[in-house]
């Protein structure tokens, strides 16, 4: 749950919203590293016998415990919400979901964390630890080719590109590298000041699903613009 800054009221989080979806999913798998949050989730979901709660790193648990339950050959399908607090998600998760052909994903692309900790004005000043986090999320170092550009610079100095450019490059990566057939333009999610905190991506193998999500994204993409 979250507290709305504008109203002060409690707002249900994604796990609770998922439980309220009708018709319901056959199984729910909820993962978090915060034991206090998991205690609350256990209390909320105790009446749902088809709910599985895991404490630990989703980068390990999804591959070991959850994704194997959604094999294409077994006619199983899954919707996976990847909601990292920052650059804490490994590309292996995204790539595996795309290659399985049975999993659709919603993904929070943490552009604010990238801008604050990785994408410095001078690429030579990027901290190696932060660059490693970015490599793990992106899957390799090709983000450097997208994040910096010399075009239009009189002195040939690399300059940081826009958020939109980086998001579009990642959208192409979801399609061409991870193997998702349909990846609509992501929806920018803004804070109370109108700044983009992250981009919400959807990736699927089904055109109908992409059309539905694209319609929703287009409806709300300008929310918070100032």
pLDDT digits (tens, 9 = 90+) for 54-76: 999 999 999 999 999 999 999 99
Query: In the chain, where are the structural domains located?
Result: 57-220
Characterize 176-214 residue by residue with b for buried, 16 or more Cβ atoms within 10 angstroms of its Cβ, and e for exposed. ebbbbebbbbbbbbbeeeeebebbbbbbbbeeebbeebb
Cα first-last separation, the chain: 27
Q: Determine the Cα–Cα distance for residues 129 and 137; give it in Å rounded to an integer.
A: 13
Give me the pLDDT at residue 152, please.
Answer: 62
The SS3 call for residue 152 is coil
Q: Is residue 117 scored above 90 in pLDDT?
A: yes
pTM of the predicted model as reported, rounded to 2 decimal places = 0.90
pLDDT confidence band for 135 (50 / 70 / 90)? very high
- Over residues 184-195, the mean pLDDT reads 91
| H or E segment to which residue 82 belongs | strand 78-82
């Amino acid at each position: 749950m979250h507290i709305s800054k504008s109203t002060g009221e409690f707002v249900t989080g994604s796990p609770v919203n998922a439980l309220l979806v009708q018709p319901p999913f056959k199984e729910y798998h909820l993962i978090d590293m915060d034991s206090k949050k998991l205690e609350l989730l256990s209390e909320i979901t105790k009446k749902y016998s088809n709910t599985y709660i895991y404490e630990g790193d989703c980068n390990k648990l999804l591959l070991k415990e959850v994704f194997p339950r959604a094999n294409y050959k077994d006619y199983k399908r899954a919707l996976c919400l990847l909601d990292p607090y920052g650059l804490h998600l490994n590309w292996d998760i995204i790539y595996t979901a795309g290659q399985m052909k049975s999993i659709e994903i919603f993904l929070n692309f943490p552009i604010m964390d990238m801008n604050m900790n990785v994408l410095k004005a001078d690429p030579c000043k990027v901290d190696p630890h932060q660059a490693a986090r970015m490599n793990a999320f992106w899957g390799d170092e090709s983000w450097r080719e997208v994040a910096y550009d010399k075009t239009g610079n009189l002195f040939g100095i690399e300059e940081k590109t826009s958020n939109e450019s980086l998001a579009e490059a990642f959208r192409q990566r979801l399609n061409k590298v991870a193997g998702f057939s349909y990846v609509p333009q992501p929806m920018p999610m803004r804070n109370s000041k109108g700044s983009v905190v992250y981009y919400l991506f959807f990736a699927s193998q089904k055109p109908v699903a992409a059309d539905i999500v694209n319609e929703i994204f287009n409806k709300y993409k300008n929310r918070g613009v100032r």
